[in-house]
Amino acid sequence: MSTLSVEVNQVDGMQLLARTGSGFAFVMDSTKDNGGLDEGPRPKEVLLTALAGCTAMDVISILKKMQEPIQRLVVKVEGETAEEHPKYVKKISLTYIAYGNVKEDNLKKAVELSQEKYCGVSATLRPDIEKHISWEIHP
C-alpha cells in the first residue's frame, strides 16, 4: 500500500492552487463565465491527463523491457461527458503514438498490459466507461 496526498487552495474565485505530497504545485481554474480566471486546466482535463500520464509511463517502461527502440511516446486522450449531472466522463478515446521502429505486436501488447494490468489510474475509473484504443507507429 502507498499513501498519496494532495491539497487544493482557493486563490481567487474558482482558481485553485494544487500542491501534491511529492512537492509540486500547479494551478487549476475555470472559465471566466464560471467564476474563474481562465489561467489553468479544468479538473476534468486534469483527470484525463492523469490517465494519459499513467498509461504513457507504463507503455514506455514495458517497451524498454521488451528492448523496443522507442524514441518518444505521445498519448492523446479525448473524453465525452454525460449530458446530465453528474457530468462524468462516459466515453474515452486513447491514441498511443510511438516514434521509433517499434514492432506493432509489442506496442499492442504493452498497451493491453497497461490497460488491463498495470495502470492504477485506469483501474480507479468506473468500469462502464466506453473506451476506444488505437495506436500509430512512426518508424
Name 135's bridge partners.
96
DSSP 33: G
Name 61's bridge partners.
none
Region from 28-36, 101-109, 130-138 binding a second copy, contact rule CB under 8 A: 28-36
Binds a second copy (CB under 8 A): choice among 62, 102, 107, 122: 122
Does residue 13 come out as left (phi exceeding 0), alpha (psi in the -120 to 50 range) or beta? left
Region from 67-75, 101-109, 131-139 binding a second copy, contact rule CB under 8 A: 67-75
Residue 63 interacts with a second copy (CB under 8 A): yes or no = no
Region from 103-111, 120-128, 131-139 binding a second copy, contact rule CB under 8 A: 120-128
Closest CA to 26 of 13, 12, 39: 39
Residue 134 interacts with a second copy (CB under 8 A): yes or no = no
Residue 79 interacts with a second copy (CB under 8 A): yes or no = yes
Residue 100 interacts with a second copy (CB under 8 A): yes or no = no
Contact present, 52 and 77 (Cβ < 8 Å): yes
